Structure 1
């Protein structure tokens, strides 16, 4: 891999490699065709290397390691976006699903079944499951960009300075909005979001814990994110 840089020694490689490997297993739910895990681990390690080359590692080592891992995660996500392009058809279907969620939430229906969501979105269950499978690798930023809504969920849920943690927002109004929105999610949706973003479990690990399939966990996570996005928008309009 070419990590023969004086600022990135063998000891550091041994320390970071399993962390980056776990990061890949957490982020890449559905491996793109013709790629394997090692491809993404290498991309993450290269992201680390670039961080080591550009920053003085002697200053605040703990803070630097967080920064380096953030760069590794960014490199992995960038690569994933470049090879796992979502088709226009799937984008349109996802927007229909999002719109269906929004309509149910406006009616104060917070626990609409997937069958009801699919029906309101004008698609069969086969189309629904196919769409959810194809977007299983999307991160919050990608969903924000794809759904093109006014409120960025990235700013509300994901801490950019630590490993996939639900960020405690600084402003009291934002905290209040997020708290109210979260209170309207189901227990399983809250559990999945908490385990994924706060406790740093992979989709595979969450599936084992709640005794569901990985694809089912991915669907719960994506649906919860879409619902949370619209619930925060509802709370935002009240201010």
Structure 2
């Protein structure tokens, strides 16, 4: 898109690619704690889009959308790093949930109910559900054990960034895929359905909430719980 003077029409391009910013923000927000605001990510992403417009060189042989995606994600990640998005306490709580799930699965030989996980953790069901909403699920592959350090400076990059070293590339391994498929099939039916809508059909939490006829916060809880179950199953990978 060009202006009458033959220059790129940045305003039109921003309008055209703003849905890309929103899509990337929604993909990222599901992996982050509840205190992160989607509007903040979108705003930062738009700044990244503007930066991409000013730096893009068609002579490099790269499609603009690919170039812009990198800039948008980079802007969001820089903002998250500055805000210390995930506290050590949240990481510890994630591990506690997964530890309870693991113990109950070994004891019961099946996927434990929410109420059973809450009892194992020694908290009321409502408190456990609130905790799920606070920690949010991150990645299917649980990576903190790889470092053994709570102060891992690369934690954010390895959980949210999208680059050649993204740990999700491990899912391309055939055995890993088989293990993931098997783990998903062992999820409670409602969580299976939710994961299918989120990962296979690219629906966001709000859209899933409408289908399931629950609140968006409840979908967030179900997502966190499903991710915790999957990480327990895939931990050895």
* Counterpart check, 1:149 vs 2:145: yes
Instruction: For residues 143-177 of structure 1, give each alpha carbon's deviation from its aligned partner in whole angstroms, at most 9, with x where no partner exists.
Output: 946xx2349xx9xx99947xxxx979433222222
Q: Distance in 1 between matches of 2:228 and 2:54?
A: 38
Given that 1:47 and 1:75 are in contact with CA atoms closer than 8 Å, whether structure 2 keeps it comes out as yes
Q: 1:133 Cα deviation (Å)? A: 2.0
Instruction: For residues 55-91 of structure 1, give each alpha carbon's deviation from its aligned partner in whole angstroms, at most 9, with x where no partner exists.
Output: 53355554x4134224423433553464474454444
SS at 1:111's partner residue?
coil
SS at 2:235's partner residue?
helix
Q: 1:121 Cα deviation (Å)? A: 1.8
Superposition pairs for residues 8-19 of structure 1, below 5 Å? 9-19=10-20
User: TM (normalized to structure 2)?
Assistant: 0.71
* Counterpart check, 1:199 vs 2:205: no
Given that 1:7 and 1:53 are in contact with CA atoms closer than 8 Å, whether structure 2 keeps it comes out as no
Q: Distance in 1 between matches of 2:23 and 2:181?
A: 30
* Counterpart check, 1:94 vs 2:94: yes
Superposition pairs for residues 153-192 of structure 1, below 5 Å? 160=162, 169-192=171-194
Instruction: For residues 13-45 of structure 1, give each alpha carbon's deviation from its aligned partner in whole angstroms, at most 9, with x where no partner exists.
Output: 111113313443554467748x672x4322102
Superposition pairs for residues 106-125 of structure 1, below 5 Å? 106-107=106-107, 109-125=109-125
Q: Which runs of 5+ in 1 are unaligned?
A: 1-5
Q: Distance in 2 between matches of 1:43 and 1:60?
A: 26
User: TM (normalized to structure 1)?
Assistant: 0.70
Q: 1:216 Cα deviation (Å)? A: 1.2
Aligned to 2:139: 140
SS at 1:149's partner residue?
helix
Q: Distance in 2 between matches of 1:88 and 1:44?
A: 26
Given that 1:86 and 1:134 are in contact with CA atoms closer than 8 Å, whether structure 2 keeps it comes out as no
Aligned to 1:46: 47
Aligned to 1:228: 230
Given that 1:100 and 1:120 are in contact with CA atoms closer than 8 Å, whether structure 2 keeps it comes out as yes
Instruction: For residues 176-198 of structure 1, give each alpha carbon's deviation from its aligned partner in whole angstroms, at most 9, with x where no partner exists.
Output: 22222222223322222232233
Q: 1:205 Cα deviation (Å)? A: 0.9
* Counterpart check, 1:56 vs 2:52: no
Structure 1 pair 202–78 and aligned structure 2 pair: CA distance change class (3 A):
farther
Q: 1:200 Cα deviation (Å)? A: 2.1
Q: 1:208 Cα deviation (Å)? A: 0.4
Larger RCO, structures 1/2 (Cα 8 Å, 6+ apart):
2
Supply the RMSD in Å over aligned alpha carbons.
3.7
Q: Distance in 1 between matches of 2:119 and 2:219?
A: 21
Structure 1 pair 127–88 and aligned structure 2 pair: CA distance change class (3 A):
farther
